[in-house]
Amino acid sequence: MTWVPVVVFRMSLKLALALFLLGAFYPILEALDNGLARTPPMGWLTWERFRCDTNCKKNPKNCISENLMMEMADRMAEDGYKDAGYEYVNLDDCWSAKERDAQERLQGDPERFPSGMKALGNYIHSRGLKFGIYADYGTKTCSGFPGSWGHFELDAQTFADWGVDMMKLDSCSSNVTTYSKGYPEMAHALNATGRPILFNCKWPFVLPHYGMKINYTLIAEYCNTWRNFWDIREKWSLVLMIVDYYALNQDVLIPASGPGHFNDPDMLVVGDNGLTVDQAQAHFAMWSILAAPLLMANDLRNISIPRRNILLNKEVIAVNQDPLGIMGRLVLQFSDRVNLWVKQLSKPQEWAVVFLNRYPSPQTVSLSLQQLGLKSLSGYNLRDIITHSDIGYRDSSKKYKYTIPATGALMMRIHP
């Protein structure tokens, strides 16, 4: 906590004392200071694939439980995901008991988490990974479990005691008018634990529904990542809906994104079979160029090889993890079929480009790189980072043809 400083020049002792007391009784909350999320966080999350399945007798392999979390941690550690950069293993809603314990602390469901939450955190850490958890700003979570309202400090310390490394704070059962005070209070509570805990907020999501403006400058002071649109599902139409929201609001969202604070368009649903392989590839390419958190929501025990390869594509991941942290921009559209997104990278004059084909048949477009804002007189070398193949040299002023698969993407890395 930071106290209001007192500076005394030619003032009376009474005035100096008054200013000191003013600072003592009106502390200023510190901004979040955890040094985390210098690039978008990567990991795995329970929600979209396993949702709120709490019936372990009927569905023991897929219920929200310590066994599920440990199996996913094993797969991340052993199947190449950790080596590719995925590190957080995150619980979403429905992990807790229906009531707090005698000391008012949150507790895991005793039947589904019999070893306790600290033991689960220890196991995840033993695999070289990090432990993420879910809480809710309000009195109840979205699924009716105990919320954190009135318990911010206690819950933050409880999570720190369990070895939690990331916390999502949802916004159900809450008073939206208190967010600008309450979310910073939780950030301060996390700071006070002394444990670095990445903070994902649902703060901006609800505000427009109540006619309230989103102050991303303020939110970025207290949150590492934040949700600002509806939940994703395993449907191509919903992937496009989220992309369209980011395009429509890019002039506001791009300045908000950077090391330590990123927009979160929600989970990756690559691997759940609701998308074709090409659609899954386009989804992954877009989340990468948006500098979005890459949090997989799938069953890593039963994922097809093509979809696994999408998630492990280190060239695409490198675009997402570029240290500059800039969100890509929609710069060109060919009718309602093909959108072109460009993202500046940290190496001088390097760029990533995504050609997104929204249409259910392959599309060929003809354009010059100058139309994308790339105007080097020496031209550029292009590499297809989805297929790991060099496209070759292109004069920036000449038009060339590019073909994009049906409801798919072409993603390139470009340098002079």
Q: Is 231 a catalytic residue?
A: yes
DSSP alpha helices (H): ranges in 61-209? 66-78, 81-84, 117-126, 152-162, 179-193, 203-206
Angle among Cα 69, 163, 104 to the nearest 5 degrees reads 95
> Catalytic residue at 170?
yes
- Burial label for 317, CB within 10 Å (0-12, 13-18, 19+), is buried
Cα 325 to its chain centre, rounded Å, is 13
Q: What is the dihedral of CA 191, 195, 200, 203, to 10 degrees?
A: -20
Q: What is the distance between the alpha carbons of residues 153 and 185, in angstroms, rounded to a whole number?
A: 8
Which element (helix H / strand E) includes 331?
A: strand 329-334
Find the DSSP H helices in 194-258: 203-206, 216-222, 236-248, 250-256
Cα dihedral across residues 389, 392, 395, 399: positive or negative: negative
- Residue 318's alpha-carbon distances to 198, 309, 329, 373, 416, in angstroms, are 21, 15, 17, 22, 18
Tell me which of 170, 264, 272, 322 is the catalytic residue.
Answer: 170
Cα(402)–Cα(14) distance, rounded to whole angstroms? 75
For 344, the 3-state DSSP assignment is strand
φ/ψ (deg, to 5) at 152 = -55, -50
Catalytic residue among 33, 83, 231, 390: 231
Using CB atoms within 10 A of its CB, is residue 346 exposed (0-12), middle (13-18) or buried (19+)?
Answer: exposed
Which residues are annotated as catalytic? Answer: 170, 231
